[in-house]
Amino acid sequence: MSQCLNPECLSPNPDNSQFCQKCGNKLLLVERYWAKSILGQGGFGRTFLAVDEFKPSKPLCVIKQFLPQAQGTENVEKAAELFAQEAERLELLGKHSQIPELFAKFTVDNRQYLVQEFIKGETLQQELDNHGVFNEVQIQELLIDLLSILQFVHSHNVIHRDIKPENIIRREADKKLVLVDFGAAKVISKVQHRTVTGTVIGSAEYCAPEQSMGKAKSGSDLYSLGVTCLHLLTQMSPFNLYDVMEMEWVWRDCLNGNFVSDELGKVLDGLVEQKLKQRYHKVEEVLAELWFGNYSISQTQKIKKTSNKSSSSNPKKSHIYRLAPQSQTSVCPTQKKSKSPQKTVSNNVKKSHIYRLASQSQTSVSPTQKNPKPSQYSPSNDVPLVSVRRVNYKKLRNLLAARKWKEADQETKRCMLKVARREKENYLTE
């Protein structure tokens, strides 16, 4: 079937039709693209699944038609400006393998169109609806994957401003996460003016407080990412995970038995901190916390293979290992609300807590404490240091314990590249 692109018609037509049988509108855009079906509609336009007739394989692509819902001349002009800017952002950022590539931008019949790469797969919201809540391992892998994308985006002084489960697709081909819909993205000035207020944009449930007032920062994307994680862990609306009377997050009370360690909990609290100054400011701060925090895979906690072929034929990676954080205390969903430990992730978050590696002592280090003496972190052979992505940190731990700082820096780089799966490139950002 061929979909009519006339907003007043949108009638389906038989294949190979040149014109809409109902309204007479031409179906082939710029003699190259034709729409198969409607994918969705947002505040700025309607998206269609389409076919590129110019290429021999006739690959699928996505046509985005500018169709603002805003009322009033000023609002429509602003929407048109944002739509045009989306093309510029995609042309710049689409070079990243986990951001859709821009193929074309043109105007037909006074309507603007973008044509971009089609990403086949499920959104994280669809995954949540179809398979249930995410576990801790899945959330940690999600964070590492998306943070590497945001690191690239922010390095170009761009903020996405609309991170949510619906805008994150797990690509079917390689299972990697792809960040889509840059219609709300914005280039931020290196010189920030305190008096300038921008356009209020984004999805309310995932929007940071400062962004809701038109003052989005790079930390606003981190906030939205954190709220996305809370939604995936609980399958509840973010509005129901925040107590407006007590002015605190209560997501731990909504886990319903879904285990989240204290270490990951602190990272999530740092991402969704209401006060911008007490929140993570940069992607690198969160990555450092994830890479060098107390996340170790216990070799004794591998789930035993069963003889049931149906359960072992296609096991999910997230079910092969269980995280073994220092604290095994779970939160009872029925207990009274407790004060969130988010305040421990304050301005001291930049210290990265490199010294919080597993040791013979099971005492965790508070982010507000001074770095402990190196002798306290002597290597322990009975504590495995293999991460979710099977990166072995034993050598790094031993180098830190021996105070061989130069060698430790080199080993740190190697571990970071392996976690980000960029060993061949030998750098983290493009």
Q: What positions carry a catalytic annotation?
A: 162
Alpha carbon distance 63, 60 (integer Å):
10
| Euclidean distance between CA atoms 340 and 409, whole angstroms | 34
CA pair distance 112, 129, nearest whole angstrom: 34
Conformation bin of residue 403: beta by default, left when phi > 0, alpha when psi is -120 to 50: left
And the tokens for 162? 């609309």
Q: Which of 404, 395, 283, 294 lies closest to 353 in space, CA to CA?
A: 294
For 343, residues 6+ apart whose C-beta sits below 8 A from its C-beta are 278
